[in-house]
Amino acid sequence: MKSKILFSTIFFFTLFFSYAQIKTVEVNAFAKEIKTTQKPQILDVRTPEEFAGGHIDNAANIDWQNENFVKNTEKLDKNKPVYVYCRSGKRSLKASEKLEELGFKKIYNLDGGYLQWNAESTKTAK
């Protein structure tokens, strides 16, 4: 009986602490998280053409619509937070869900995407 309780407890904590967490956050919270994280993993999931038109400083461009999306995310650290955005927030949410499936632990999705980032006049790279 004790072993069943112990097994159940261990199983519960394993599920609870290994479960990924996607947070969709507004621009100010997204910017604050990036600023306070050492070497943040910022992931722009738009097309290369969209990325070339402007992007958040230090973002890596891994196109969600590219067939190699999963392979291209292998260079990211699954145990560090990842900050994901697209144009409006729709693709980045789908990409975030995929990252969750791949084992990423903490994922921040930019609410409103790059359009909202620009609308709030946050510093961007060109």
Catalytic residue set: 86
SS3 31: helix
Structural contact between residues 104 and 20, judged by C-beta atoms closer than 8 angstroms: yes
d(CA 22, CA 92): 11
Contacts of 12 (CB under 8 A, 6+ apart): none
Cβ atoms within 10 Å of 30's Cβ, excluding its own = 25
Tell me if residue 87 falls in helix, strand or coil. Answer: coil
What is the C-alpha separation between 86 and 88, in angstroms, rounded? 6
